[in-house]
Chain A
Amino acid sequence: MVEITIRKRPRTEAVITQRKFFKKTARGKVIKESNLFSPPIILLQTVIEEVRHRSLPLYNRLNALIKMDEKRIWVFYNEYRSETAIIREEGETPNDRNDRGIRKAAAWYNDHIRVTRPPIRGQAPPKLPTVVLMTEDVANRQKAEKAGISCISVRKYVEGMKEPTQLLDLLAAEGSNEIEPTKAAAGRQAFYPDYIPTSTLLAGVKTGELHQGHFNANQYNYLEGSVSVPALSKPILLIGRENMNRAVHGDVVVVEVFDEKEWKAPADEVVDQDSTLKNDDVEDSGDEGDDEEDQVTRREKQVLLSEEVKRTSEKQPTGRIVGVIKRNWRAYVCHIDSTSLTSSNATSLSQQTVFATPVSRLLPRIRLRTRQAPTLIGQKILVTIDRWDVTSRYPEGHFVRALGKVESKEAEQESLLLEFEVPYRPFGKAILDCLPPQGDTWVVPPKSDTSPEWRDRVDLRDLIICSIDPPNCQDIDDALHARPLPNGNIEAGVHIADVSHFVLPDNPMDSEAASRGTTVYLVDKRIDMLPSLLGTNLCSLRPYVERLAFSTIWEMTPEAEIVNVRFTKSVIASKAAFTYEEAQIRKDDPNLQDELTAGIRLLNTLAQKLKAGRMAAGALNLASPEVKIHLDSAESSDPIDVEQKEMRETNSLVEEFMLLANISVARKIQETFPQTAVLRYFSFTHFQGYRIDDFGSRRHLPPPRTNFEKLQDVLMKRKGLALDVSSSGALAASLDKCIDPNEPAFNTLVRIMGTRCMLSAEYFCSGSVGRDTFGHYGLASPIYTHFTSPIRRYADVLAHRQLAAAIGYTPLHATLHSKSHVERVLDVVNRRHRMAQMAGRASVEFYVGLALKGRNEREKGCVREEAFVIRTFRNGLGVFVSKLGIEGLVMFKREIRFDADNYTIAIPSSTAPDAQDLTISVFDKVMVNIEVEKDKNTQRGRVKMTLVHPVDSSLM
């Protein structure tokens, strides 16, 4: 049984064991340097609590120091000892009270040492160690000296050490040596300016004095954001917290543009909020507002100041946010930052304020109050932002729910879907009720004049039709055929699943599909737009069964010129479902002479000619880094390896015919419904991956040339190559010329970078823009739509309905006559489409990360890959690993010289002073080590790259 006692007040008989050591107390920031002290140190409880009060992360570090054995730091709980405990007097600030407590404890300690070592008769009186009070507070020192306590400043103490110079540099600046200001609670200090009232905002936007647009955060630098507005050709740059004024990525904001002389170039440094804000305290900001020299503010100012030196060439308008029209806050997937926790003990029920770090680098940290913080560590959680006050540096939010353990597949998958706002709930009953009642036993009824399925349908069941798709494709929405005609021409047909037969306008299933917009493909999961009965069965053009289709049939000359085209609803029976590979093998096998193979060959020759024609017309051949993930098995789905997707001839075959079908359909529906036709176009966006949300206002603009300027500049300076972006043809031609004889992959790299400048294809409604801007830049086609994948894209369903009306099959549904309705639907579809792409990419990234981790473990070392430098920063390099299709950052800890104009960094050689500096520039090939590193605080796994060739960055 343990000894249980009742505490008696007052305690008089307390005796604690006494050790011989010196006493120093240090306060506040000086604590940071305590790793320098070598003699024994007594830390007072008062001091420790003050540190804890000021900054938790600092306190945790101090605790670590105390726990180290060799440091010999002892803690004296002076507040709990009757001789040294003090009570705050009236009119005394907490600060003064603490100072008094420290002095009292120091004085007591000296007496105590004397009492415990009484002089023994016959011996010389023992040499008593003195306790020295160490403090940076001048006032405290003065008072202490008055009371007869010897004291010393940290600087003095360090100066007295053996090698003071090194350590002196580490000390806080001399300036802080003055009397520490004792602050009364000065009320909350505002971090941000207030917003202007909404009516003023709207008036300002109307008169053109203010600008409205979507706020885009910069993923490399959390202190910078931008807003694209129609009035200016370049996005408005917002530098610093005050100017970004509490906007969160995606908000619709109103911006005031600064004078032209204040315009600046965007920062070229990677500013990571995790490292800059490392020591920031959750409760500090806003709660106290008493820290005049607030560390975070200071550090951020430093970061901003260091960027002041800028080149003048690339000036962008700068401004500040004066109001928010619409918040686009949603639930964000976050991790809890473990250092912000007050108590990590799992039984704690207390309410704690913690930081939640969003997975997306575009978002600020969110302050969160929760009672279950300890259990949430290491989990992915969903957090929504509630408000962001001017007095709070960070937005405040609340916990919604936990998704699961970090790096578990379920949690990662769900967080991905949530992060990209993919609707992934199962289909409801109302939606499933719209399916044919026969379920999967539904078949095309026997041909008869009375059955509604056969009305106005052409019977194409005898045609030799086949489908070519990626392996394991379940939702087959297209099939092809080709056959020679007696007149020497060729008949080619593209048959698309007739989804609009099953999905009727304006029923629950249709609305759901419209709101989902698209099927989302993740590496190990597919989130369907339509219920799977339709998607993978009734609509899917599976082989050997009769299916309803919508056919586009061309008569072409052998030179692939279109003689005529007709569109018809049909019934087909596919004869085979090939993968690209199978089709390719079949085509190349000279022994096979059956009709199916002949059809594929015929299609292939036509496709080649079509492609040549398209290229001649100036279509762009852009590249995007696509990788394929090999999964171990269906259940565990552990990625084994990553490889780049292979492009075969048959891929291009299918692609050409789909393009052709889309173009033909686009022409037809545009002719018939000039106001409401659903079309698609392709345009430039910004180089740095800025998202363009305000296409409604920008669509009618010609592609702004500025987006390519940076790429052009880099190419010109580094390789002496020019990129002509005056037309798509010229661009295609000049892209072809971007060849580095020593580096075959260079051309692909440029194409990838080029694609990033433009990849923003959007659906639009033909009535909303002028006829001359319909052009699809990348395809060099004057008009384009999506028609060929109605199972997985909603826009195609609309195109199907319009085409069906255009050929007089059904009357056009009323909603498709309304321009505003079509626009509204397409807005959703566009957004979903973009999100789906990003989700897919993120999913690939996650699996690449897992694969890398697996490889790291197997190979007992780092994965080493070739990479190209694509960006240079003041303190690092952006590299692209083409083999894995991932982008990464290489950061340098040591100073490097950065030449922004030439996109070069120079690394001072470390071995010999006179040796040539090593320079690395954009497009250089380097070797990088890739490892997946877990962030200690947030448990967020992230790819970390280090340079190994030409120089090892880990040493720097």
Chain B
Amino acid sequence: MASRVEILNQGGFRSDGRRQYELRDMSIDLSPQGTADGAAVVAHGLTQVMVSVFGPREAKMRSQTIHDRANINVELNIAAFSTGERRKRSRGDKRILEMAATIKSTFEPVVQTNLYPRCQIDIYVQVLQQDGGLLQTCVNATTLALINAGIPLLDFVCAVTGGVHSTSPLLDLTLLEENDIPHVTVAVMPKTAKVTLVTMETRLHVDRFEEIFRLAADAGKVVHAEMKSAVRARTGTLVAAMGAGPRAGAGETEKDGDGRMNEY
């Protein structure tokens, strides 16, 4: 009875009890995963994605090396158990390839690849749970994993999905909402307020687009604050564990991307 659920009920509540502009609970785990150079597990509500970053390292194949910068390689895998209906998706699935390409093109202008010529940065995205906003979660998790791996970025990349129900805009849609209403995913670089990704697979009225777009970009800044504090906390623990250097909370100068972040 999925169609029985009201997207936005009379009291202004969404189907999961959120208000229009309320984002889902966001949990970030930056602890190391296996041999990866950097990893992040990010959950927006029930959508959970794990990203492992390897590199920068020497490119395995000569054909993939670029002489003046690093090559970014994104591989996406959706766990069969991640959706309500168990479904195995092959690697060659067009949607998966498309999503991986989207992530790749989102990060190419952000990662300072020119610092690592003839190198390769591997990003493995593993989707663990899906409940809407998959791309947004992937992008946020990739940002954090890259930061965690110590790869210099120009800025954070923070993505949020926005949709519109009739005339009321909604943020951070669940799967149920995504199925029902037109939506657009926007990724912003909060410091420069640049947008690196806008994607929309449904039809959205042009009059509504600007409003949603702005809203999603604003929401990106809120997500940014959350991500930043997670990075900061993680760095703090690391520094404290090393038993040297400044106290926890002041260790953000370790990464140059983060250092600039404080000016913002």
Contact = CB atoms under 8 A, between A and B. Distances in A.
Interface string B170-191: 0100000001111000000000
Interface residues of B, number: 33
Contact of B182 (A7, A53, A349): A349
A350 B222 contact: no
A352 interface: yes
Contacts of A45: 11
B4 A52 contact: yes
Contacts of B104: none
A343 B8 CA distance: 10
A4 B1 contact: no
B22 A6 contact: yes
Given A1-B218, A4-B219, A4-B222, A353 B3 contact: yes
B165 A342 contact: no
A77 B14 CA distance: 11
Contact of B25 (A7, A53, A66): A7
Nearest to A350: B180
A442 interface: no
A307 to B, nearest CB: 36
A75 interface: yes
Nearest to A82: B17
Interface string B195-207: 0000000100100
A348 interface: yes
Interface string B206-233: 0000000001001100110010000000
B30 to A, nearest CB: 18
B4 A283 contact: yes
Contact of A352 (B3, B7, B182): B3
B69 interface: no
A3 interface: yes
B21 interface: yes
A5 B22 contact: yes
B3 A351 contact: yes
A2 interface: yes
A66 B9 CA distance: 13
Contacts of B11: 45, 75, 77
Given A7-B22, A79-B17, A347-B205, A342 B4 contact: yes
A858 interface: no
A81 to B, nearest CB: 8
Nearest to B24: A7
A346 interface: yes
Interface in B1-32: 1-4, 6-7, 10-11, 13, 17-18, 21-26
Contacts of A860: none
A9 B44 CA distance: 12
Interface string A317-351: 00000000000000000000000001101111111
Given A75-B11, A351-B3, A5 B21 contact: yes
A6 B230 CA distance: 14
A2 B21 contact: yes
Interface in A342-388: 342-343, 345-353
A7 B215 contact: no
B2 A350 contact: yes
A251 to B, nearest CB: 31
A349 B25 contact: no
B2 A77 contact: no
A349 B3 CA distance: 10
A5 B226 CA distance: 11
B10 A342 contact: no
B35 interface: no
A63 interface: yes
Contacts of B226: 6
B21 A3 contact: yes
B135 interface: no
A45 to B, nearest CB: 8
B192 interface: no
A6 B26 contact: yes
A162 interface: no
A80 B205 CA distance: 31
A1 B25 CA distance: 21
Interface in B232-250: none
Contacts of A261: none
A5 B23 contact: yes
B215 A2 contact: yes
A87 to B, nearest CB: 13
Contacts of B262: none
B10 A75 contact: yes
B63 interface: no
Given A349-B181, A349-B202, A53 B21 contact: no
Given A4-B222, A350-B2, A77 B17 contact: yes
B166 interface: yes
Nearest to B183: A349
Contact of A347 (B13, B181, B215): B181
B165 A6 contact: no
Given A1-B218, A80-B13, A6 B182 contact: no
Contacts of B21: 2-5
A8 interface: yes
A662 B118 CA distance: 97
Nearest to B169: A2
Contacts of B182: 347, 349
B121 interface: no
B187 to A, nearest CB: 16
Contact of B13 (A3, A77, A346, A350): A77
Contacts of B13: 77, 80
Contacts of B222: 4-6
Contact of B166 (A5, A8, A346): A346
B23 A348 contact: no
8 tightest Cβ-Cβ pairs between the two chains A and B: A80-B17, A345-B166, A350-B180, A6-B23, A4-B21, A4-B222, A4-B219, A7-B22
12 contacts: A3-B21, A4-B21, A4-B218, A5-B222, A6-B24, A6-B26, A6-B226, A7-B24, A343-B3, A349-B180, A350-B2, A352-B3
Given A4-B222, A347-B164, A350-B2, 8 more contacts: A4-B21, A7-B25, A52-B6, A66-B10, A283-B1, A342-B3, A347-B181, A348-B180
